[in-house]
């Protein structure tokens, strides 16, 4: 059984709401360019506390020094993130760019947590709230986010058309999307049992 020092456990704690830089809001129903903000009018923010109720975990880190960052090292150790790879998403660097973006933006779930650390650039993770509304999470340089196993979600770049992200995995790297509907999928059932109506759960480390 893994053991952690008090310092590692403290460093691995998710970002407190009082200091968190993350922005999130409920989306409009427009079918315009997916890379736009798609805020309601008036804007309806979604707080970090509400994101945590949906299972999302968030940190703000030093992306310029990620290779020597003790906070990132502690998060990886405590959460068992043993494998990393860095992916640059842009027209110039990602093969089959247009089709990849379309695939990322299809509503889907995974059978593992989706863990992304943004080293540069920006984009949006959209997640389904428990009442089936879209919540748009703006991710920027320095943001590390865990989108929980079994939640319906999608990803898109913003109008800057560029993001450099570290993909982190617990164990072997697997990224298999299961497009909605997936109500009978074990990971969806697990998610609903943990975070659905009546569960009132938040991430263990939050």
Binding residue ranges for Ni(2+): 108, 110, 114, 153
Handedness of CA 6, 12, 18, 19 (dihedral sign): positive
Beta bridge partners of 139: 123
Report the candidate in 141, 140, 134, 67 with the shortest Cα–Cα distance to residue 105: 134
CA distances from 110 to 5, 15, 25, 68, 196 (A): 31, 24, 23, 30, 17
Q: List binding-site positions for Fe(2+).
A: 108, 110, 114, 153
Q: List binding-site positions.
A: 108, 110, 114, 153
Q: What is the DSSP string of 51-79?
A: HHHTT-EEEE--GGGGGG-HHHHHHHHHH
CA distances from 97 to 91, 103, 148, 157, 161 (A): 6, 10, 25, 11, 11
> Before 64, cis peptide (omega within 30)?
no
């Amino acid at each position: 059984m893994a053991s952690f020092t008090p310092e590692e456990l403290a460093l691995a704690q998710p970002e407190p709401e009082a200091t968190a830089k993350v922005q999130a809001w409920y989306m409009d129903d427009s079918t315009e360019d997916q890379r736009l903000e798609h805020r309601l009018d008036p804007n309806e923010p979604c707080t970090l506390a509400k994101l945590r109720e949906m299972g999302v975990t968030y940190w703000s880190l030093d992306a310029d020094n990620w290779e020597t960052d003790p906070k990132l090292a502690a998060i990886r150790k405590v959460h068992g993130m043993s494998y990393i790879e860095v992916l640059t998403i842009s027209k110039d660097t990602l093969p089959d760019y247009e089709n990849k973006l379309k695939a990322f933006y299809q509503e889907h779930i995974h059978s593992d947590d989706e863990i992304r650390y943004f080293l540069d650039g920006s984009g949006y993770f959209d997640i389904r709230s428990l009442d089936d509304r879209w919540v748009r999470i703006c991710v920027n340089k320095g943001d590390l986010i865990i989108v929980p196993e079994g939640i319906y979600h999608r990803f898109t770049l913003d109008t800057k058309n560029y993001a450099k992200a570290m993909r982190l995995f617990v164990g072997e790297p697997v990224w298999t999307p299961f497009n909605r509907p997936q109500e009978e999928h074990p990971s969806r059932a697990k998610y609903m049992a943990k975070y659905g109506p009546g569960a009132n759960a938040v991430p263990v480390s939050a």
